[in-house]
Amino acid sequence: MIELKTPAEIERMHVAGRFVAEALSEVGRLADVGVNLLDLERHVRGMIERRGAESCYWDYAPSFGKGPFRNVICLSVNDAVLHGLPHDYVLRDGDVLTADLAVGIDGWVADSARTIIVGNAAEEDLRIIRATEEALEAAIEVARPGNRLGDISAAIWAVASDYGYPVNTEFGGHGIGRTMHEDPHVPNKGRAGRGLKLRPGMTLALEPWLARTTDRIVYDDDGWTIRSADGSRTAHSEHTVAITEDAPLVLTRRDTEEPAARGGSARRVSTEDA
């Protein structure tokens, strides 16, 4: 069942979206060579607590995970792309880091993800990040009344194909609103003109993710972290989008789009930062 949101309800989701955008920008600012993933997680946890927000990940226990998830953010490194369980890992020069965050504020949820590179960036890593970002923008562009769900899926698939990347269909985008995962499922591969007709008031989390050389995935022993089956590097870009009578409204857009590569001297995040 799909709940169409009123403009007032979409604005309440936008409040959560602005916070998610701020938190992901903060992760991008702090992530550097020598920083531990656990310190990044603690910092975001402190931000959520101070805002009075609610983590959508804490105690999350879906059928595909080894639940419950006991962190507030997913942090995935290199060949890990989805549901990365924060653990005792110190970021290294050239690491590819994906941060994925969903929170609720006053009963309304927003969800977003971004991939950055720590330290010196390899061109092939920048390329796959660009592919997911361009696929996301293409998907947003067609998220308009009268189009169909398949138009979104086809837009993502077309960009991935142009770049030469395969597309996995096991995990994709989803409806969002009062909870993190609502109907409908939004595949990252599909045919234009097919599927559910898009209507004003629909709110969707669109999230193209790619691995360089495979569409197959494997799970870590932690039961959560999903990696490319062949160990190739990955990237993931996600925004929460509202379909309106006019242009699509991106509820998790960052005020400034930071570069994917993060350089500079190491800055360790202490628990005092949280």
Which parts are annotated binding residues for substrate? Answer: 83, 181
Tell the residue number behind the tokens 């010196």, with chain if given: 120
For 39, the token pair is: 């310190």
The annotated binding site is made up of 83, 100, 111, 174, 181, 207, 238
The annotated binding site for a divalent metal cation is made up of 100, 111, 174, 207, 238
Separation between Cα atoms, residue 261 and residue 258, nearest integer Å: 9
